[in-house]
Amino acid sequence: MKYSKATDYAMHTMLHLALGGREGRVGVGTLAERMQVSPTYLSKILTKLVKDGLVESSPGVSGGYRLRRGAGDIALLDIIQAIEGKTSLYECSGVHHNPGCLIHRAMAEAEHKMEAHLASVTIADLARQQDQKASS
């Protein structure tokens, strides 16, 4: 399975905001430079994160972006769903699709386990790991 580049940038943006946003708001230019991506493209991603309530933005000279809630309250699954949506990764189709389809049940179980793991990993967890990595 593969997530879009937008999801990758969104997760890295959220980690940068958790680490670098401790001093306040971070501008889109600074974030885009850190990730070597177009500010215009990153702005579109940030708009989705704002819309989903993960990030807040403030205009103006001292404006920028910061996490809307604590990093410990933002799971990787929250970020993925903000960018990719909440639809299932697997859609059972064809003549064999029925409510008792064994393939559909197996895929749904696998997806549920993956989502449970992604829901258990927070941006705060990753920020702590990054801090530990940087200090060693």
Per-residue pLDDT of the chain (136 residues; tens, 9 = 90+): 678 999 999 999 999 999 876 567 899 999 999 989 999 999 999 999 999 999 999 887 778 999 999 999 999 999 999 999 988 888 777 666 676 788 888 988 999 999 999 999 999 999 999 888 877 7
Burial class of residue 56 (count of CB atoms within 10 Å of its CB; 0-12, 13-18, 19+)? middle
Q: Read off the pTM.
A: 0.88
**CA pair distance 94, 34, nearest whole angstrom:** 45
DSSP 8-state secondary structure symbol assigned to residue 66: E
| Ordered structural domains, the chain, with CATH | 5-135 (1.10.10.10)
